Each structure stands twice: as structure tokens, then as C-alpha cells.
Amino acid sequence: MRVFVAVELPPDVHKTLARIQDRLREQGCRGRWVPEDNFHITMKFLGEVREEQIPKIQQSLDTAALGVPPFSLKLGPLGSFRNGQVLFCKTDGAVETLEKLAYSVERELVPMGFKPEKRKFRAHITIARAVTGFSDYCEAADRSSIVKFKVMSFVLMESLQGGQGVRYVPLYHVPLVPNQ
């Protein structure tokens, strides 16, 4: 099974990102658009794992969550990776807490044989791949539509390939516990 660790997003964020995609399409931006149901913030891609590894991964994720309370994020401006080939929405707010959590996840999973990430963690939500026609001047992200959201948990997610494209299925939710 192919898995990754991510922050799920609430429905209003999914809808806002879908509206941004619509505006970009109207402005002539083309690409492989991420389906509305698939928006998330990836913290760590694990790749192919055996089913018997899942309990140990779950235990490592529980440990990674210790000491990290719930936090708030909001959608930020658009950006791109790989010479404009990947279009994403940045996240603002308590990004340093998300970074701390991502590094904690990494620290717990690397001893299990998962490769450490070479690049610095950059919180973002991918909205399109193989993009053409995007420039930094696109006015797709109307600042009045920016939404805030609370991160109360994160998830071990399975990526399933099928005739209808990629579908993500939550395998295990890890709650963030408020500091007492």
C-alpha cells in the first residue's frame, strides 16, 4: 500500500481552493487539476509499505504528536515549484507549529527505514500539476475568500490508484492534544 502523512483540510477550504482553480482556468491557466476531494498538506511521503508495518507507523505518529497542541492555519498566496510546473497555495498562520510537527514525524519515521527528506519542509497545498499559463500576476486568490482553519489532528493516508484517478483514504487519525 502507498501511504503518506498529511493534514486534512475542512470542507470550506476545499471549496475555496476549487473556486481558485476555477478562476485560474478562466484566466487561461491549464494543467492537471487536483480534484477538490484530494486537497491536503503533505508532511511526509512514505511510499510503498507492507500492511504489517502500519501498527508501528501509527505508534510513531502518536509519539510525534506528543507536545504539539492544535493550531490555526490560513490559506496564503499562490506559488509554484519546479519552474512553474506545480501550482500550490501557501499556508500562513502557525506554520512554525506545522513545521515542528512535520520534523517530529520525520524524526520518528526515519529510524523505521523511511528516507529522510533532503529538502526543507514547505507547507503548501498542491492545486495543479503540469501547469501552463500561470504567472505570479494571476489574480485568482481573492484575499476576501481566504479562510482560516484549525488543525486538530493529522492522518496517515493511503493513496489508491483507480480508473477514476487517485483517491485518498484515511487509515489512522492522530489527535493533537491541547497543552494542559
Query: Which residue carries 484515511 as its cell?
Result: 170
> Which residues lie below 8 Å from residue 40, measured CB to CB, with a gap of 6+?
6, 7, 8, 9, 125, 157, 168
Catalytic residue among 9, 20, 33, 40: 40
Dist CA 127 CA 18 (whole Å): 8
DSSP secondary structure of 37-81: GG-EEEEEEEEE--GGGHHHHHHHHHHHHTT---EEEEEEEEEEE
Catalytic residue status for 40: yes
Catalytic residue among 124, 140, 149, 156: 124
3-state helix, strand, coil in the chain (%, to 5): 30, 40, 30
Catalytic residue status for 124: yes
First to last CA, the chain: 37
**Which residues form the catalytic set?**
40, 124
